């Protein structure tokens, strides 16, 4: 395996497994303004999403993940994330679905605690989620970054 390839595989698998189930979002009344949907339980949001609302991307992601519609999830990834996935052999939505279905990690209880807008216009969500893998459950902190591409918000980065 090439240097750095193992890290890319781990990052791609994490991105594939990170999609939460049971998403909730806390209100943000900070000086940066609230990007949150007034309903803190975003898991049950349905209908059309506002293309100008970066929180809508998160709601869509959660809804599609709950329904295990992984091929549709792939369309919510940024061009940069798709390029990163290509490094580990995932170049289309069908391959992304296979990757997601092979993951043993289950994410849940996703709570956004804070949002911020960067100078480049990207929105960063910081929060906590529960991950269950191989019978063990752990509460972890995460940071998700979404960017606007072609007038739509896309998931660009995920760290925990």
How do residues 30-83 score in pLDDT, each as one tens digit?
Answer: 323 223 333 333 333 333 456 688 998 977 876 777 677 889 999 999 999 999
The answer to whether the beta carbons of residues 49 and 133 sit under 8 Å apart is no
Mean pLDDT of all residues in 90-94: 96
**CATH architecture of the domain covering 5-159:** Roll (3.10)
Task: State pLDDT tens for residues 125-154.
Answer: 998 888 888 899 999 998 999 999 999 999
Q: Does residue 116 carry a pLDDT above 80? A: yes
Give the model's pLDDT for residue 8: 47
Q: Does residue 21 carry a pLDDT above 60? A: no
Give the model's pLDDT for residue 35: 31
């Amino acid at each position: 395996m090439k240097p750095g390839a193992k890290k890319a595989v781990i990052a791609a698998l994490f991105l594939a497994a990170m999609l939460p189930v049971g998403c909730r979002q806390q209100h943000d009344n900070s000086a940066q303004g609230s990007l949150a949907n007034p309903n803190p339980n975003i898991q049950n949001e349905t209908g059309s999403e506002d293309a100008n609302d970066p929180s809508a991307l998160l709601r869509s992601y959660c809804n599609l993940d709950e329904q295990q519609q992984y091929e549709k999830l792939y369309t919510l990834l940024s061009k940069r994330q798709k390029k990163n996935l290509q490094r580990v052999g995932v170049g289309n939505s069908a391959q992304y679905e296979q990757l997601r279905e092979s993951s043993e990690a289950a994410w849940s209880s996703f709570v956004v605690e804070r949002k911020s807008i960067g100078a480049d216009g990207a929105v960063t969500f910081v929060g906590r989620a529960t991950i269950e893998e191989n019978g063990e459950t752990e509460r972890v902190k995460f940071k998700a970054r979404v960017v606007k591409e072609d007038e739509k918000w896309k998931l660009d980065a995920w760290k925990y």
